[in-house]
Structure 1
């Protein structure tokens, strides 16, 4: 068996912790798995952090560890830095796996992907605070609607405001020159558009796994299997 190098990128508000259950299973299968926390989401100052900084961080991690044949696995918003990194170092990337993630289009930001009213609210929030916070009600109704309240509260306590520029910045180019797959949580309610729309941008059919948007936490066995 050829050992794969998985670099795992979280979505908005999350850190490396959200990938740890999946990462453990990938390691148990004989692969290397490195979960990242993006700049501005690790207790550091989120003001002024840009999407380019996130892309740089992913690229720097790959080159610092001299990783090759990398599987970049991205959750949710993480599709942006994953795509940007794959465009920067395609010779090191074996595949990009989008897990209930946005597949970016050129010049289109995360805020642009949202429904108009929500997008306007997000932009106003960023203008006022520089970040995009998350509230407990959204965790209950959108992210973990089927989980018990103690689980919802535990996850909520781990979430942090997301740097505003991560939602406002876009990539100039997004056409991947490497293989890609799309893994979709069957009951995801949090994606800006249906997962099938994002999968179609890659020209692939989605691989379905159980659970909602937080399937990395609730169904790590199935997600890991879909990534192997």
Structure 2
């Protein structure tokens, strides 16, 4: 597929993170002449009210942002849990999309919630959400090395300080929509070689939509630790 005009990248973060996680990549995309929008989903900005939010709230936010800006030739990119958000949003934005790219992301199986992608931790995650006063779930500092194996301790500490609790409904709600291949929207999958955080192997997730991952270096958060490489991979995927 060859785009008829310069694409606009709409970058959706994963759990516990805001649009800040995509800013290094967005800056590099802009430097080479492409528009880039970093999205902070409801409940994931500092000080947000997180109680009662559902997956549909996150999806609706992305759709509304694209429509408010009247964006076309959109390359919709989602990281990690954000794969749920971009899949749902794609179904409402078909006419505005140039491509959907999963980056270290879950490609949702129809009817399966994020919490159920890893059966080993599903019960613990549900219990933690149920026990939280506002129905959220946090990340503990000891989990950060799994997300950023290539980073030093100072970088990991800073990353952890920027995280906020994840609205539980975002993990508990399944999607009941067509995958992007059924929509006729081109798709890509970019995978970090040292990703240790995905619920299932990235190659397995990519195969759900008939793709083989394009590999970049680093771990799950390589958009922060390897922004040059991730930006280049996104451009190559979007423009091919």
Instruction: Give the TM interval when normalised to the shorter protein.
Output: over 0.9
Q: CA deviation at 1:174?
A: 3.2
The answer for the alignment partner of 1:40 in structure 2 is: 43
The answer for the alignment partner of 2:170 in structure 1 is: 166
Residue 138 of structure 2 corresponds to residue 133 of structure 1: yes
Q: Secondary structure at the match of 2:91?
A: helix
Query: What TM-score do the two structures reach when normalised by structure 1?
Result: 0.97
Match 1:71 to one of 66, 72, 75: 75
Query: What TM-score do the two structures reach when normalised by structure 2?
Result: 0.92
CA contact (8 A) 2:6 2:73 kept: no
The answer for the alignment partner of 1:200 in structure 2 is: 207
Q: Secondary structure at the match of 2:110?
A: coil
The CA deviation string for residues 146-202 of structure 1, in whole angstroms up to 9 with x for no partner, is 321111100000001100000000111132111100000000000000000111011
| Structure 2 stretches lacking a partner, 5+ long | 236-240
RMSD across aligned C-alpha pairs, in angstroms? Answer: 1.0
Q: Secondary structure at the match of 1:100?
A: strand
Q: Secondary structure at the match of 1:25?
A: helix
Q: CA deviation at 1:105?
A: 1.2
Distance 1:196 1:117 in 2: 20
Match 2:18 to one of 15, 18, 31: 15
Match 1:191 to one of 198, 201, 214: 198
Distance 1:123 1:78 in 2: 19
Matches within 5 A, 1:55-204: 55-114=59-118, 116-129=119-132, 130-140=135-145, 142-176=146-180, 177=183, 178-204=185-211
The answer for the alignment partner of 2:30 in structure 1 is: 27
The CA deviation string for residues 58-103 of structure 1, in whole angstroms up to 9 with x for no partner, is 0000000000110001000000110100011201111110000000
Q: CA deviation at 1:32?
A: 0.4
Distance 2:148 2:76 in 1: 25
Q: CA deviation at 1:117?
A: 2.8
Distance 2:60 2:148 in 1: 31
